[in-house]
Amino acid sequence: MTTAANSYLLETLKDKFPAEVLATHAFRGDETAVIQKDSLAAVAAFLKGDLGFDFLMDLTAVDHSPREPRFELVCHFYSSKHNYRLRLKCALDSENPAAASLTPLWAGANWFEREAYDMFGIKFEGHPDLRRILMYDGFEGHPLRKDYPLKKRQPRIPHRD
């Protein structure tokens, strides 16, 4: 992707969402927009509908503990029509890490969001089936949080006949 396309994407986002886009940067073809968490669904809908980002490549989180805001949600989008890539980031606090679900826009967000819920405890409002996907139902805690005890003993899985 060219520098002109890079600047076009970020400038278009800043023009459309001036109060919601907190920062932007580009490095070696990686464009990033840092947005308010409450605008995630609206910005993502604009990316899909107006800018042609037809593929949600990844959705994950980062635990920056002890820094506040503690969590950061990171979404990677791709436009197969234009060969554009864009990363959205938004901060989530430690008390109630939650964001809008992207499953109404991309069905593939379902598993990504379930993984972020399972590993970090991030809730996705409007998700159709938010439950653990990697750990078993009785698992206590969220193993990718920095405060998760390394030697924590988990309850045993009941034996099924």
- Given a cut of 80, is residue 158 above it in pLDDT? no
From CA 43, how far away is CA 53, in angstroms rounded? 11
Query: pLDDT for 39-53, tens place per residue?
Result: 999 999 999 999 999
Structure confidence by residue, pLDDT tens digits, 114-132: 999 999 999 999 999 999 9
Copy the structure tokens of residue 62: 């980062």
The DSSP code for 157 is: P
> What domains lie within the chain, and their CATH numbers?
3-125 (3.30.460.80)
pLDDT of residue 30: 85
Whether 156 shows a pLDDT value over 90: the answer reads no
Mean pLDDT in residue range 10-37: 95
Of 123 and 151, more confident:
123
Residue keyed to tokens 């809008």: 100
Mean pLDDT of the chain: 93
Q: Is the pLDDT of residue 1 over 60?
A: no
Tell me the chain's radius of gyration from C-alpha atoms.
17
Pairing between β-strand 123-125 and β-strand 98-100 as defined by DSSP bridges: parallel
User: Where is pLDDT greater, at 4 or 85?
Assistant: 85
pTM across the whole model: 0.90
Using one digit for the tens of pLDDT, what is the confidence trace for 79-93? Answer: 999 999 999 999 999
